[in-house]
Amino acid sequence: MPELPEVETTLQGIAPAITGEKIKSVIVRERRLRWTIPASFEQTLSGNTIDHVSRRAKYLLIHTQNGTLIVHLGMSGSLKIATDSTVLRKHDHVDILFFNGTRLRFHDPRRFGCLLWTKKDPFQHKLLKTLGPEPLTDMFNARYLYTKSRNRKVSIKQFIMNSHIVVGVGNIYASEALFMSGINPKRMASGISLTRYECLNNSIKTVLSEAIKQGGTTLRDFVSGKGEPGYFQQKLNVYAKQGDACSRCNSTIKTIKQGQRSTFYCPNCQT
């Protein structure tokens, strides 16, 4: 669920509440996340003051003087400011309590998320070091995509979803951006022209920035087993729209599997 816009929204939501605040204690109720939280975690975090909060790809970085907490929300994670009256829910795995009474709560039913403490420069961390550029920067442009894609033997869909090529393009936005640019998701990345990459690059930026503008609320919490539409289906042109009429040409939207993931596209508009 949390794609780039949600992570950005989370950042903006928690940063004002915790910046400058000192950690009093940490409560861990479930250690088995994507990477198990070590026993030393509570002690290590306690006493640190939050310097600032930032984001790299879908990772949230909570910086302190002594180290950085790297947070990934995985599929189903959320990070929120709780109060004393907030009811403790199932899957509320971690609370970080501050001296001023603020309580930061990590919730993650599927436990694909992670909380990692690093004393070193977080950008040199193994998970962050090799990531591709941020999609909304000038580093990410058509020329970059064109150059990177030469000799790549994967489909364009898989190519733009590779976080070492560009970060933040999840399954939903990949389908939407390819629809917007009229590119067939099955097409090989290596065979796409610079001109078409210009179009695709623009589409990715447009789709993501529009979603961020809406506070990331374009996305649903959950996709049912049958790919039922979420609350915001009307915002999407192809994602989870298999069988529907294409909004542009009225052809039927198709779904296929690529790299074990669902892709949605219009066989007529996307060539």
Partner DNA sequence: AGTGCGGCCTGTCCGC
Partner DNA sequence: TGCGGACAGGCCGCAC
d(C-alpha 174, C-alpha 259), whole Å = 13
Closest to DNA by CB, 77 or 104: 77
d(C-alpha 135, C-alpha 144), whole Å = 11
Q: How far is the CB of 181 from DNA (least distance, A)?
A: 19
d(C-alpha 210, C-alpha 12), whole Å = 16
Closest to DNA by CB, 2 or 23: 2
133 is catalytic: no
192 contacts 256 by C-beta, under 8 angstroms: no
Q: How far is the CB of 221 from DNA (least distance, A)?
A: 8
Of 3, 8, 21, 176, the active-site residue reads 3
Short-list 159, 155, 128, CA closest to 145: 159
5 is catalytic: no
58 is catalytic: yes
d(C-alpha 77, C-alpha 92), whole Å = 10
Count of CA atoms in the C-beta half-sphere (13 A) of 80: 14
Q: How far is the CB of 191 from DNA (least distance, A)?
A: 12
Of 24, 42, 261, 267, the active-site residue reads 261
Closest to DNA by CB, 48 or 77: 77
Q: Please give the residue ranges that form the binding site for DNA (CB under 7 A).
A: 3, 32, 34, 57-58, 72, 74-76, 90-91, 109-112, 126-127, 151-154, 158, 163, 170-172, 222-228, 259-262
31 contacts 108 by C-beta, under 8 angstroms: no
Closest to DNA by CB, 38 or 259: 259
Count helices and strands (H / E) in the chain: 7, 10
22 is catalytic: no
Of 56, 58, 157, 196, the active-site residue reads 58
Would you name the residues annotated as active-site residues? 2-3, 58, 261
